[in-house]
Copies of this chain bind each other. A is one copy, B any other.
């Protein structure tokens, strides 16, 4: 633990102080300008109503605090030659971060149509929160950003994700006191127990207490300081408190706090890196307490504004119509003395820029915030060396996730030097049967390690914590800064991060429209312990709906795969780990599963995304009477068992078996890049034959994907319909009408003109279902012919 006695108090020279204050005033001026002005940016003439935007949208309250942090980060980056990135947590902090990057020149380099001069300032102002312009929060459009400020709660997790395996990087993270109330942020503080001071960079949280949210005080700002101090120490940090409302005093205190914090960080890193200290470090956190809307109007219409929630958005709302407000705005803007800050040409004065670092050190220009620039190809092993041998389909059994564990182990091994791959999951890596990775890397853990523990390592790259939010947030931060990863999760509980993945997809969609943003590694999910094999854990663990959630989002970004066996899972995993700018959802079981395809067959099948399994059907080259389609490992098993029953009982029936790996293949070609043309779709599914589709999840999803197809009226889908409970694996499919017997009955019900004999077969199937129900009542287990079923194809 670093000692406190190392820090010499920072003393700013007058020139330094003037420079910092000039930068901060300039940024404040620019923030106000963005919220209000569409013309007259330098106030070269008196403010008139027509200079004011018709609709005032934006958030002033958080801006002066963010500007202060930007200014002081500039100083320490420049003074110390830091490699730094900042995650800006506070919602709607756009005006400040845009101001900072316009001042440091990175904005104009990124957007040459917004130069660092009067014309550019006018554009900067006008475009803000304006149709066709830029959002009011930090967003993909913002240079230097990896964090969207729209939905709150994920800044600190993103910051840690960015710091992992970036040993030379300092990731500052401004946490608003509003955001600090969210659950994800509250547990993100514990990320310090996972940060390796040797191989990871540093995270410097700046908890900004401006006291108010939209309409309420914030919890943390109303704690007595000793209580807040205890909380942060309890989270494992050493707080450095900065409070005030006198700019010069706050500048001095903030400069000292920054230096103190960075000295402590250096000391921790040096202890760990040079002196072999392995005791958990206590990292600094800066607690910055300044008024909300600081330097804005103290009162408006007789009500206090500065230092209250009333400064959250637009402090003066009636500027266009109320001359008093207009005059007050002009006084406010002139209080920053813009004539000292900007030349007549609008360029920032040298004093304003005296604290600004150069080149890629600038917060708006760091390549870490445009992670694709730094992405190194992931070394992926030869799949043939890992694949399970399959001479004949349906003879051997493997646990698909265990097989993919061998692939992940190899990736983990081959990234030992560059450390650009992480596996995250909520305490489930072993449960999900991926534990081969432990042969190469243990689980990251900086807290105490006891002799009884297994696979915990100070330098591990497997991340386990019982928080899906942290897993997701860390991995987002990691891929946004250009590295690779996989999130393995119980299928049901990945809904915990529904909103986070939505925001990440929105980020990717927007980023793809920005030519300066380089593609980043995809965010990959391996959802296992899935709905059909949660028979023992029961109803609360049964939910296949994440796929539905993701498929509502931008087709350009989302991909969904349901590989039916071990080799197809290998092929899909290889594919998603190579891909860029996607959110890939892979659903696969961890229980023993028949091997259907050899590695070569798997490659071809997965590349097609959907295909006829001729060996499983009985169409013999002709037109089928019926199509049995399947997507997902358990539905595939039931469809093959149904095909086998049909072959035995109704041998004259021509059955086609279609397996779908890539769900988006079902969408129209016009709606998704992977969507089949009608020609392709009709070739697989026919236009007029009954299609019995056994799907892994909610059955209506398949209708939602395929409703435009010619044959849709003949499509009959079986899937999970929320009939869950604690039972046996086969009973789960029976309860949801996805079982082989039901599928055979569905075929008989839908194929016209079947022989009379079919009625007897149908009755036999119904009898089997009845017998099953009685059997599990008596034995608490599945009937042997189901549990020990084998493919005889």
**Do A430 and B722 touch across chains, with their CB atoms under 8 A apart?**
no
**Do A731 and B217 touch across chains, with their CB atoms under 8 A apart?**
no
The residues of B that contact A190 with a CB separation of less than 8 Å are: 181, 186, 219
Known: A183-B187, A545-B549, A554-B722. A215 touches B431 (CB 8 A): yes
**Do A428 and B137 touch across chains, with their CB atoms under 8 A apart?**
no
| Chain B CB within 8 A of A700 CB | yes
**Do B537 and A150 touch across chains, with their CB atoms under 8 A apart?**
yes
**Chain B min CB distance to A752 (Å):** 19
CB nearest neighbor in B for A501: B495
**Do A538 and B135 touch across chains, with their CB atoms under 8 A apart?**
yes
Known: A187-B183, A466-B181, A727-B131. A780 touches B53 (CB 8 A): yes
Known: A53-B780, A217-B447. A139 touches B181 (CB 8 A): no
| Chain B CB within 8 A of A548 CB | yes
Within 8 A of B (CB), among A45-99: 53-55, 57
| Chain B CB within 8 A of A768 CB | no
Q: How far is the CA of A236 from the CA of B543 in the complex (A)?
A: 37
Question: CB-defined interface of A440-467 with B at 8 Å, one 1/0 digit per residue?
Answer: 0001010110101100100000001111
| Chain B CB within 8 A of A169 CB | no
The residues of B that contact A200 with a CB separation of less than 8 Å are: none
Known: A182-B469, A493-B151, A707-B707. A217 touches B712 (CB 8 A): no
Instruction: Pick the contact of A498: B450, B465, B499 (CB < 8 A).
Output: B499
Q: How far is the CA of A252 from the CA of B145 in the complex (A)?
A: 56
The residues of B that contact A456 with a CB separation of less than 8 Å are: 216-217
| Chain B CB within 8 A of A612 CB | no
**Do A452 and B308 touch across chains, with their CB atoms under 8 A apart?**
yes
**Do A537 and B227 touch across chains, with their CB atoms under 8 A apart?**
no
| Chain B CB within 8 A of A503 CB | yes
Q: How far is the CA of A458 from the CA of B77 in the complex (A)?
A: 46
The residues of B that contact A722 with a CB separation of less than 8 Å are: 509, 552-554
| Chain B CB within 8 A of A510 CB | yes
The residues of B that contact A229 with a CB separation of less than 8 Å are: 234
Q: How far is the CA of A447 from the CA of B429 in the complex (A)?
A: 42
**Do B183 and A448 touch across chains, with their CB atoms under 8 A apart?**
no
The residues of B that contact A392 with a CB separation of less than 8 Å are: none
Question: CB-defined interface of A720-759 with B at 8 Å, one 1/0 digit per residue?
Answer: 0010111110010000000000000000000000000000
Quick one: copies of this chain in the complex?
2
The residues of B that contact A499 with a CB separation of less than 8 Å are: 493, 495-496, 498
| Chain B CB within 8 A of A786 CB | no
**Do A726 and B214 touch across chains, with their CB atoms under 8 A apart?**
no
**Do A234 and B236 touch across chains, with their CB atoms under 8 A apart?**
no
**Do A538 and B132 touch across chains, with their CB atoms under 8 A apart?**
no
| Chain B CB within 8 A of A332 CB | no
| Chain B CB within 8 A of A695 CB | no
**Chain B min CB distance to A251 (Å):** 26
**Chain B min CB distance to A725 (Å):** 8
**Do A540 and B506 touch across chains, with their CB atoms under 8 A apart?**
yes
Q: How far is the CA of A133 from the CA of B726 in the complex (A)?
A: 7
**Chain B min CB distance to A460 (Å):** 11
Question: CB-defined interface of A468-480 with B at 8 Å, one 1/0 digit per residue?
Answer: 1110000000000
The residues of B that contact A698 with a CB separation of less than 8 Å are: 552
| Chain B CB within 8 A of A347 CB | no
**Do B137 and A777 touch across chains, with their CB atoms under 8 A apart?**
no
**Do A538 and B137 touch across chains, with their CB atoms under 8 A apart?**
yes
The residues of B that contact A132 with a CB separation of less than 8 Å are: 725-727, 776-777
CB nearest neighbor in B for A448: B222
The residues of B that contact A152 with a CB separation of less than 8 Å are: 466
Question: CB-defined interface of A142-182 with B at 8 Å, one 1/0 digit per residue?
Answer: 00000011111100000000000000000000000011011
CB nearest neighbor in B for A189: B186
The residues of B that contact A215 with a CB separation of less than 8 Å are: 427-431, 464
Q: How far is the CA of A55 from the CA of B537 in the complex (A)?
A: 13
| Chain B CB within 8 A of A539 CB | yes
Known: A135-B538, A427-B216, A429-B215. A222 touches B447 (CB 8 A): yes
**Do A136 and B536 touch across chains, with their CB atoms under 8 A apart?**
yes
| Chain B CB within 8 A of A502 CB | yes
Instruction: Pick the contact of A703: B182, B431, B495, B703 (CB < 8 A).
Output: B703
Known: A182-B467, A493-B499. A131 touches B219 (CB 8 A): no
**Do B217 and A227 touch across chains, with their CB atoms under 8 A apart?**
no
**Do A780 and B54 touch across chains, with their CB atoms under 8 A apart?**
yes
Q: How far is the CA of A219 from the CA of B448 in the complex (A)?
A: 9
**Chain B min CB distance to A155 (Å):** 13
The residues of B that contact A342 with a CB separation of less than 8 Å are: none
CB nearest neighbor in B for A130: B780
The residues of B that contact A713 with a CB separation of less than 8 Å are: 713
The residues of B that contact A548 with a CB separation of less than 8 Å are: 548-549, 552
| Chain B CB within 8 A of A648 CB | no
**Do B178 and A466 touch across chains, with their CB atoms under 8 A apart?**
yes
Question: CB-defined interface of A183-208 with B at 8 Å, one 1/0 digit per residue?
Answer: 11111111001000000000000000
The residues of B that contact A468 with a CB separation of less than 8 Å are: 182
| Chain B CB within 8 A of A592 CB | no
CB nearest neighbor in B for A706: B707
The residues of B that contact A185 with a CB separation of less than 8 Å are: 183, 187
The residues of B that contact A537 with a CB separation of less than 8 Å are: 135-137, 150
Instruction: Pick the contact of A183: B184, B304, B307, B776 (CB < 8 A).
Output: B184
The residues of B that contact A453 with a CB separation of less than 8 Å are: 217
**Chain B min CB distance to A747 (Å):** 19
**Do B538 and A55 touch across chains, with their CB atoms under 8 A apart?**
no
Question: CB-defined interface of A532-560 with B at 8 Å, one 1/0 digit per residue?
Answer: 00001111110101001100111000000
Q: How far is the CA of A236 from the CA of B445 in the complex (A)?
A: 28
**Residue of A149, A178, A216, A304 contacting most chain B CB atoms (<10 Å):** A216
| Chain B CB within 8 A of A231 CB | yes
**Do A536 and B779 touch across chains, with their CB atoms under 8 A apart?**
no
**Residue of A132, A214, A552, A725 contacting most chain B CB atoms (<10 Å):** A552
The residues of B that contact A452 with a CB separation of less than 8 Å are: 304, 307-308
Q: How far is the CA of A151 from the CA of B151 in the complex (A)?
A: 23
**Do A130 and B726 touch across chains, with their CB atoms under 8 A apart?**
yes
| Chain B CB within 8 A of A375 CB | no
Known: A181-B465, A780-B130. A193 touches B219 (CB 8 A): yes
| Chain B CB within 8 A of A416 CB | no
Given contacts A153-B496, A216-B456, 11 further A-B contacts (CB under 8 A): A57-B536, A139-B539, A150-B539, A150-B540, A186-B189, A214-B427, A222-B448, A231-B235, A233-B234, A496-B499, A506-B540
Interchain residue pairs with CB less than 8 A apart (10): A131-B776, A132-B727, A132-B776, A181-B467, A183-B470, A214-B431, A230-B234, A495-B502, A548-B548, A707-B712
Return the 10 tightest CB-CB contacts between A and B, nearest first. Answer: A231-B234, A150-B540, A183-B183, A186-B186, A186-B187, A495-B499, A222-B447, A230-B234, A135-B538, A181-B466
